[in-house]
Chains A and B, each alone.
Chain A
Amino acid sequence: MSGTAELESELRARERMTLLRFITCGSVDDGKSTLIGRLLHDTGALKDDQLATLAAESARIGTQGGALDFALLVDGLAAEREQGITIDVAHRYFATATRGFIVADTPGHEQYTRNMATGASTADLAVLLVDARKGLLTQTRRHAFIVATLGVRRLVLAVNKMDLVGWDRAVFEAIEAEFRAFAGRLGVTDVTAIPLSALTGANLARPAAESPWYDGPTLLHRLETVAVVEEEDADRPLRLPVQWINRPGPDFRGIAGTIAAGRLRPGDRLRVLPSGHESRVARIVTRDGDLGEAVAGQAVTLTLADAIDVARGDLIVAPDRPAAVADQFEATVIWMGEAPLLPGRSYLMKIGTATVGAVVDRLKHRVDMDTLEPLAARRLDLNGIGLCVLHLDRAIAFDAYEENRTTGGFILIDRADNATVAAGMLRFALRRAGNIHWQAFTVDKAARAAQKRQRPAVLWFTGLSGAGKSTIANRVEALLHARGHHTYALDGDNLRHGLNRDLGFTDADRVENIRRVAEVARLMVDAGLIVLVSLISPFRADRRLARERLGEGEFLEIHVDASLDVAESRDPKGLYRKARQGLIRNFTGIDSPYEPPEAPELRIDAGARTVEETAAAVLRLLEERGVVAPE
């Protein structure tokens, strides 16, 4: 470089460089560290002072007999260097004149699944190392399986140490053929196999004279020329997770986010999910002036033509090719937590910019990492990969992971210590509703109930005044609430202060009283709630009426059975005394009959058991009837 014009032109070329992210998989034994060290060195990313440090450390703690130990470059933490292990993903950077590279370097042994999945999640391409002397190992297949699971569609099989097999073409071609067959089973067809020697640099940055029979690219040439994934994303339907609402003042309301797929132009129609509201792009605002177009990969701020409700966590999509909305999925999960995944536990799920509650309802299988075959499993341990059924506490907009990494990839977060315990990939929605466009107001009882992770029901506590109905109902409600259920208590006495204030205690008024309570309970069941009704409700016919207002299995009659003597001796409100004195008329048990239920779902002997015992009995009933999940 000399002269200002030439320099400027060189700089402009550098500024036009594209970016490739790739992952390297393999162990130190395969020569992976040497390969990365070589790439850094041959592209000038490794400077003299770093080489000097490396030489000094190689002499002190190296494993290559004093020669440069490139593994020391990659193993960044002191603990790792001294133990000779790699426990984490390391990032390396280098550039050529046309492309910048971000390398996620992952260890081949300890914690390999977690780290490899992490590195692969952002990779456009994976380089898998094989030792030419050893051929394909179980480990190679595992690595290929993991990167394919994470959606990496382009593989480079780097058949290393070719110098140690005399650059034998037959050795290389046998490994290549075996790997192509295996990759095909994983659904990966873009495979480039390269014979090379990381130690000598042959076929890394320079073509090897030793392999005249090989007419494919060098490793660096393949990395420099492979198409990057974002180039394809722009041709897909628009996906823009809403990240932040930009409101500097009353006159501006911007929607900020990173385009996950597709493109945007002012005037384009778009839809906000899950609400389904639609509008048009008004402006694409930047600090350097408005844009005429933005594409996948760009972080943008846009304004809409209409004042519709948009919030962080929403997904903006193309109306003609929208994402689906659902709350139950089948998903592949890679477990990264120290404690195992247990079905039934509740986690936080972060997908795009949305965070929702999620329960792994069922583990369908785990993958045996030796055979890559599915096995039945009840739990998933650290570094395990499994297929599970997920239930969310609200519906989200999504795409299958293989369609879009951003709108189909998620993490699970432990609610207690906030650790990231899993990475997951949505496969498909399990509820049919997820396959059709989510219309506003099509949320039904089942949807509301599923969101609350419970089956709505009415617990109808009937019995004499003073039998203990409200006390038991209160305790049951507290226990349900503590388990995270959504409840509401309707108490006969309290309702008479409001809704039923105009009613007395004549037979006709009692019937109307119960009709109103049953109607309110029915609405609450429709809202997905577990409703606890405490009402003397002395007449069988009225209770039957209430039962008939509700669906099959939604009405649970609980007879709080106390003898008149017991109830009257308790007399918590002094009503029996007043009734005996004739101050209250039509009092159940005194001058009005109580008709005990003939077939209640549960009968509680209120005189013989404590409140805790009876509340526990009610909860058992709810579990048996599938209203709530067993704890």
Chain B
Amino acid sequence: MPVLTHLDHLEAESIHILREVVAETANPVMLYSIGKDSAVMLHLAMKAFHPAKPPFPLLHVDTTWKFREMIAFRDRTAEALGLKLIVHVNREGLARGIGPFTHGSALHTDVMKTEALKQALDAHGFDAAFGGARRDEEKSRAKERVVSVRAPGHRWDPRRQRPELWRLYNTRRSPGETLRVFPLSNWTELDVWLYIHREGIPVVPLYFAAERPVVERGGTLIMADDDRLPLAPGERPHLRRVRFRTLGCWPLTGAVESDADSVPAVIEEMLRATTSERQGRLIDHDGAASMEAKKREGYF
């Protein structure tokens, strides 16, 4: 008799969540952020609905500051799997010239990511959006529900969230309410990598160590992904052997020096790591409750 491993359990739980929400909502969408968590979530969706295609499109909110390798990987993936991909850019924010170097990480994230996401969800009338967030990522997420109800305007009210018992998810919505759904809630960073290894899931090469041009800013290694990186007089990028533990906008994502150039090597490095993965994310450092504040505003 097959004994289910912890990865089998996590996989089954995520598939159950994906199917349940598809069965009970009219117009779901999957937020595809191109990173490793999105890669796993998409892989699970391919399994959940096989031999049918996942009955929802992918949505990528493009801040126009993503690593070029991410965009190439995104387009390759959607094409290879034969899925509909919606790419949304906050045109109004773009016209205002909003960017992380000129306006700071907080405003950039708010306009090009949070606002853009709300625009896209509203424009298409999506009633449920799958996201790849995990509870172990950050403290304010430890109490997030699998199915998170958002009030009109996408506001998150921690006191109005519903208790979730057994495998029973209450997906009912009042007019104007939408759902954010997190099928990977119970996965850890280690689980994600072990699963990528087990299943042979392709991920963006930026996760693996290579010589890349970086500058050091306040102790953080920033990769010069294109010529928009403003350089101080005399400053110039140096080639260093680095990789990324998380992926986002390149000016806001710190690289780590590493020799891990394969999935097993990445896992080995993680097992020995002494810092958590969000260490490299600059937007989390505004205060311990900063992620919670962003969530209330409608950030994922």
What per-residue 1/0 map shows which CB atoms of B112-151 lie under 8 Å from chain A?
0000000000000000000000011001111100000000
Q: Are A99 and B6 in contact (CB under 8 A)?
A: yes
Q: Are A287 and B47 in contact (CB under 8 A)?
A: yes
Q: Are B1 and A285 in contact (CB under 8 A)?
A: no
Q: Are B172 and A418 in contact (CB under 8 A)?
A: yes
Partner of A100, one of B6, B135, B161, B274: B6
Q: Are A230 and B5 in contact (CB under 8 A)?
A: no
Of A10-18, A320-328, A536-544, which stretch is located at the interface? A10-18
Given contacts A243-B19, A258-B16, contact A420 B162 (CB under 8 A): yes
Within 8 Å of chain B (Cβ to Cβ): is A165? no
Q: Are B275 and A49 in contact (CB under 8 A)?
A: yes
* Minimum Cβ distance to chain A for residue B6 (Å): 4
Q: Are A91 and B185 in contact (CB under 8 A)?
A: yes
Q: Are B6 and A19 in contact (CB under 8 A)?
A: yes
* Minimum Cβ distance to chain B for residue A558 (Å): 41
Residues A245-264 near B (CB distance < 8 A): 246-248, 252, 254, 256-258, 263
Q: Are A299 and B12 in contact (CB under 8 A)?
A: yes
Partner of B165, one of A4, A256, A285, A411: A411
User: Which residues of B are found within 8 Å of A4, using beta-carbon distances?
Assistant: 264
Q: Are A93 and B188 in contact (CB under 8 A)?
A: yes
User: Which residues of B are found within 8 Å of A406, using beta-carbon distances?
Assistant: 166-167
Within 8 Å of chain A (Cβ to Cβ): is B267? yes
User: Which residues of B are found within 8 Å of A287, using beta-carbon distances?
Assistant: 46-47, 50-51
What per-residue 1/0 map shows which CB atoms of B156-200 lie under 8 Å from chain A?
001111111111101011100100000001101011001001100
Within 8 Å of chain A (Cβ to Cβ): is B80? no
Q: Are B174 and A417 in contact (CB under 8 A)?
A: yes
Count how many pairs of residues, one from A and one from B, have CB atoms less than 8 Å apart in the complex: 195
Within 8 Å of chain A (Cβ to Cβ): is B289? yes
Q: Are A299 and B165 in contact (CB under 8 A)?
A: no
User: Which residues of A are found within 8 Å of B136, using beta-carbon distances?
Assistant: 91-93
User: Which residues of A are found within 8 Å of B198, using beta-carbon distances?
Assistant: 15
Complex Cα gap A287–B5 (Å): 19
Within 8 Å of chain A (Cβ to Cβ): is B53? yes
* Minimum Cβ distance to chain B for residue A93 (Å): 5
Given contacts A1-B271, A285-B51, A287-B50, contact A263 B1 (CB under 8 A): yes
Residue in A230, A256, A351 with the greatest tally of chain B CB atoms within 10 Å = A256
Residues B1-24 near A (CB distance < 8 A): 1-13, 15-16, 19-20, 22-23
Partner of B292, one of A78, A92, A118, A411: A78
Partner of B19, one of A47, A87, A118, A244: A244
* Minimum Cβ distance to chain A for residue B162 (Å): 4
* Minimum Cβ distance to chain A for residue B136 (Å): 5
Q: Are B9 and A76 in contact (CB under 8 A)?
A: no
Within 8 Å of chain A (Cβ to Cβ): is B48? yes
Q: Are A243 and B143 in contact (CB under 8 A)?
A: no
Complex Cα gap A117–B163 (Å): 9
Q: Are B170 and A295 in contact (CB under 8 A)?
A: no
Q: Are A7 and B268 in contact (CB under 8 A)?
A: yes
Complex Cα gap A246–B49 (Å): 7
**Binding site secondary structure of chain A:** mixed
Within 8 Å of chain B (Cβ to Cβ): is A410? yes
Within 8 Å of chain B (Cβ to Cβ): is A293? yes
Complex Cα gap A443–B296 (Å): 51
Q: Are B168 and A410 in contact (CB under 8 A)?
A: yes
* Minimum Cβ distance to chain B for residue A52 (Å): 9
For A410, give the chain B residue with the smallest CB separation. B168
Q: Are A118 and B163 in contact (CB under 8 A)?
A: yes
For A17, give the chain B residue with the smallest CB separation. B6
Within 8 Å of chain B (Cβ to Cβ): is A90? yes
User: Which residues of B are found within 8 Å of A95, using beta-carbon distances?
Assistant: 6, 188, 190
Given contacts A18-B6, A93-B135, A93-B186, contact A256 B19 (CB under 8 A): yes
Complex Cα gap A536–B275 (Å): 88
Within 8 Å of chain A (Cβ to Cβ): is B232? no
Given contacts A287-B50, A409-B165, A411-B170, contact A299 B19 (CB under 8 A): yes
Given contacts A11-B264, A16-B5, A47-B274, contact A88 B279 (CB under 8 A): no
Residues B272-300 near A (CB distance < 8 A): 273-276, 279, 288-289, 292-293
User: Which residues of B are found within 8 Å of A88, using beta-carbon distances?
Assistant: 143, 158, 161
Q: Are B170 and A420 in contact (CB under 8 A)?
A: yes
Complex Cα gap A501–B285 (Å): 83
Complex Cα gap A7–B193 (Å): 14
Q: Are B292 and A77 in contact (CB under 8 A)?
A: yes
Within 8 Å of chain A (Cβ to Cβ): is B95? no
Partner of B186, one of A91, A252, A293: A91
Q: Are A73 and B168 in contact (CB under 8 A)?
A: no
User: Which residues of A are found within 8 Å of B48, using beta-carbon distances?
Assistant: 256, 299
For B199, give the chain A residue with the smallest CB separation. A288
Within 8 Å of chain B (Cβ to Cβ): is A57? yes
Complex Cα gap A384–B211 (Å): 61
For B16, give the chain A residue with the smallest CB separation. A258
Complex Cα gap A234–B10 (Å): 18
Q: Are A301 and B50 in contact (CB under 8 A)?
A: yes
Complex Cα gap A410–B168 (Å): 7
Given contacts A95-B188, A409-B165, contact A11 B143 (CB under 8 A): no
Known contacts A263-B1, A293-B2; can you find 19 more A-B pairs with CB under 8 A? A17-B5, A77-B143, A78-B140, A79-B158, A100-B6, A102-B186, A121-B165, A230-B4, A243-B16, A287-B50, A295-B1, A297-B4, A298-B12, A299-B12, A336-B163, A351-B168, A405-B166, A419-B162, A420-B162
Chain B interface residues toward A at CB < 8 A? 1-13, 15-16, 19-20, 22-23, 46-53, 135-136, 139-143, 158-168, 170, 172-174, 177, 185-186, 188, 190-191, 194, 197-198, 264-265, 267-268, 271, 273-276, 279, 288-289, 292-293
6 interchain residue pairs of minimum CB distance:
A19-B6, A78-B289, A248-B52, A100-B6, A299-B15, A121-B165
**Can you offer 21 A-B residue contacts whose CB atoms are under 8 A?**
A11-B197, A11-B264, A14-B267, A47-B276, A48-B274, A49-B279, A91-B135, A91-B136, A91-B142, A93-B135, A118-B165, A246-B49, A258-B15, A285-B50, A285-B51, A286-B50, A297-B8, A409-B165, A409-B166, A419-B162, A420-B163
